[in-house]
Amino acid sequence: MFSIGDLSRRTGVKVPTIRYYEQMGLVAAAERSEGNQRRYSRQELERLAFIRHARDLGFAVEDIRALIDLSGHPEQPCGHADKIAQEQLISVREKIAQLKRLETELERIASCCDGKTVGDCYVIRALSDHALCADEHVS
């Protein structure tokens, strides 16, 4: 059995986040020791590591819940899990494209500034007037 602090250290998930996952039903409610401390099994440790990895990959809590539910049925086809992963991949690629647009615009704005004072600063003018942007970079 692991204390909540042990779980946190082993998984890198902060204690308040573990409590949140417990409230959300992603991690089973902990047993309590005689001193009323939360005690977690190896299964909860593994579940929390699963959740942490999924969160690191950007999966939403709802998707993690669905993936956890699917993991409880190893005999079923994995099409739904594949679909969830593919949707996350699409989302990540969209975010990357957005970040590339932001990078391009920031490079352009930063390189256009040849002012010596803030009053002549192109960065300040561009941030004040979206029409000075080269293209649409917001989603």
Domain membership flag for residue 75? yes
The angle at the Cα of 90, spanning 79 to 46, to the nearest 5 degrees, equals: 60
User: Is the Cα torsion angle 31, 36, 3, 17 positive or negative in sign?
Assistant: positive
CB 90 within 8 A of CB 82: no
Look at the chain and report how many structural domains it folds into: 1
Q: How far apart are CA 43 and CA 116, in angstroms?
A: 62
* Mean pLDDT (whole number) for 101-105: 90
What is the distance between the terminal CA atoms of the chain, rounded to a whole angstrom?
A: 47
Domain membership flag for residue 8? yes
pLDDT for residue 87: 97
pTM attached to this predicted model: 0.77
Domain membership flag for residue 73? yes
Domain membership flag for residue 102? yes
Read off the CATH number of the domain in which 67 is found: 1.10.1660.10
Q: How far apart are CA 49 and CA 54, in angstroms?
A: 9
Domain membership flag for residue 123? no
pLDDT for residue 86: 98
pLDDT surpasses 80 at 135: no
The angle at the Cα of 35, spanning 33 to 40, to the nearest 5 degrees, equals: 30
Give the strand pairing for 31-32 and 38-39.
Answer: antiparallel
Domain membership flag for residue 120? no
Domain membership flag for residue 129? no
* Mean pLDDT (whole number) for 101-130: 82
pLDDT in tens, 40-91: 889 999 999 999 999 999 999 999 999 999 998 989 999 999 999 999 999 9
Domain membership flag for residue 137? no
Q: Which domain holds residue 23?
A: 2-111
